[in-house]
Amino acid sequence: MNKTILVIDDDSNIRELMYDALTKAGYKAVTSHSGKEAIDLLKINKPDLILLDFKMPDMSGIEVLKKIKSVDNTTKIVMFTGVETEGLEREARLLGAGGFLRKNLGIDVILKAVNQLLSEKRDYNKDKILVIDDDSGIRSLIRDFLDKKGYNVITASSAEEGLEKFKQERPILILLDIKLPGMDGVVTLKRIREIDEKVGVIMVTGVEDDEVLKEARSLGAYEYIVKPFDLNYLETCVLVRICLISALTN
């Protein structure tokens, strides 16, 4: 059975482009120009993935996201946006958006990311993920969950240990706690970037500090996750980022 993707965007050109690309790739594509209509389509079609624009005519993408989560809290939702809007993106993360696809990536990269996001046959074991967190409970929780999903997970309890394991293992993605003993997460991120400018980094934080997160973003952190987090949400964030890295490098 074909996977179903719901595209919610007020730009008819984007909807047409995505519909043609997705149907050609073998997906069942459903498009909507408004949030209200999209909620009705969600109930009828039960999509496997939702691509949601921030700007909608009748209600904002944030409002649509809230409505969707009240109806269905399991479907993967990725914000599909043309511009970076820090405030809106932060709110979308907290509401459970699993990641962000930029429209300027181009249809080929977007389609590759969608393919990998929905694939049931990806070889996750080759994708090493390094978790750097001083909380043993968090490390174990993330490791055990992602292990069961088929990922190759490496853990470290400090920045120093994490940097050594990063040099040895060269993971595709790092989940990096902001508050660490000794060297903090932002300084660790700087050291990581000195070694590799392209490796994916997702910051993990128990306290939302806008200034620290802003600095982390300026240093190339792709996303951030606020503790406590839903594990399915964590998986979607991880998968979206790995998909994008793979799509951009292959």
Pair of tokens at residue 8: 């919610």
Picking from 142, 95, 107, the residue whose alpha carbon sits closest to that of residue 22 is: 107
Beta bridge partners of 204: 177, 225
CB atoms within 10 A of CB 147: 13
For residues 153-190, one letter each, b for 16 or more C-beta atoms within 10 angstroms of the residue's C-beta and e for the rest, the string is bbbbbbbbebbebbeeeebbbbbbbbbbeeeebbebbe
Residue that terminates a domain, selected from 97, 118, 139? 118
pTM of the model as a whole: 0.72
Kindly state whether residues 70 and 132 are assigned to the same domain: no
pLDDT tens digits in sequence order for the chain, 250 residues long = 589 999 999 999 999 999 999 999 999 999 999 988 998 898 888 899 999 998 888 888 889 999 888 887 778 888 888 766 667 777 887 777 877 888 887 888 888 888 877 876 555 556 789 999 999 999 999 999 888 877 889 999 999 999 999 999 999 899 999 889 999 998 999 999 999 888 888 888 876 667 777 777 777 777 777 777 778 778 777 877 777 776 666 6
Whether residue 198 contacts residue 177, with contact meaning beta carbons closer than 8 Å, is answered with: no
Q: How far is residue 103's CA from residue 107's CA, in Å, rounded to a whole number?
A: 8
The CATH number of residue 35's host domain is: 3.40.50.2300
Kindly state whether residues 245 and 195 are assigned to the same domain: yes
Kindly state whether residues 154 and 231 are assigned to the same domain: yes
Domain tally for the chain? 2
Pair of tokens at residue 67: 């409505």
Strands, DSSP E only, in the chain? 4-8, 28-32, 49-52, 76-81, 100-102, 128-132, 152-156, 173-177, 200-205, 223-226
Structural domain that includes position 193: 124-249
Q: How far is residue 158's CA from residue 135's CA, in Å, rounded to a whole number?
A: 10
Residue that terminates a domain, selected from 103, 118, 133? 118
